[in-house]
Amino acid sequence: MLYTRKGDGGTTKTFACDQRVSKSSAVAEALGTLDELNSFLGTCKVRSGFWKLDITSDFTSIGELVHWVQENLFIVQAQVAGADKTMDQSKVAVMEDIVDKIEKVLPPIKTFFIAGGDELSATFDFARTLARRAERRVVGAVDEGIAKVAPETLAFLNRLSSLLYALARLCNHKSGIKESSPSYS
């Protein structure tokens, strides 16, 4: 059954709690934002198709990498909800390695860039902003003491926005599109 009617009064339940909590609570907001990010990453995955990653890694395509990120976001969501799931530091290291390798094939960053370039780059840029919001929501729930996450989980969320930014830049680069800086005029 796709509905239970239990949330009709504006409450929900997480793994960690036998009581219902408001759907506007910090933990519900964090979980919803993580879900939104994961769903949008599905769009990134589909739009990237089988684009080759073109770096030495365990992933041959951008879509395969995005799928791996989505899998790991379920661990983050479970942890925020109170389940006994953990994020491994090695997953943070995987993202750092990929970002480092992507940066080696791109021009150095000397300024901010205007999002866009091509459609896939813009999609990854939007995903980056969702990742930053999800990170803020998770930190907010932790700061309020209603969610507990491991330091590795916070590091994973922080590196995720860097990975998505690197992918946005890589897409422009692979498409031959020069990044545009703001003029501030």
How does pLDDT run across 83-130, given as a tens digit for each residue? 999 999 999 999 999 999 999 999 888 778 878 889 999 999 999 999
Is the CATH number of domain 23-102+114-174 1.20.140.10? no
Which of 23-27, 167-171, 179-183 has the least mean pLDDT? 23-27
- The answer, yes or no, to whether residue 149 has pLDDT greater than 80, is yes
Q: What DSSP string describes 58-74?
A: S-SBHHHHHHHHHHHHH
pLDDT at 134 over 80: yes
pLDDT confidence bin for 13, thresholds 50/70/90: low
Q: Where are the domains of the chain?
A: 23-102+114-174
Please indicate, yes or no, whether the overall pTM of this predicted structure exceeds 0.85.
Answer: yes
Distances (CA, A) of 93 to 130, 140, 144, 152: 21, 25, 28, 10
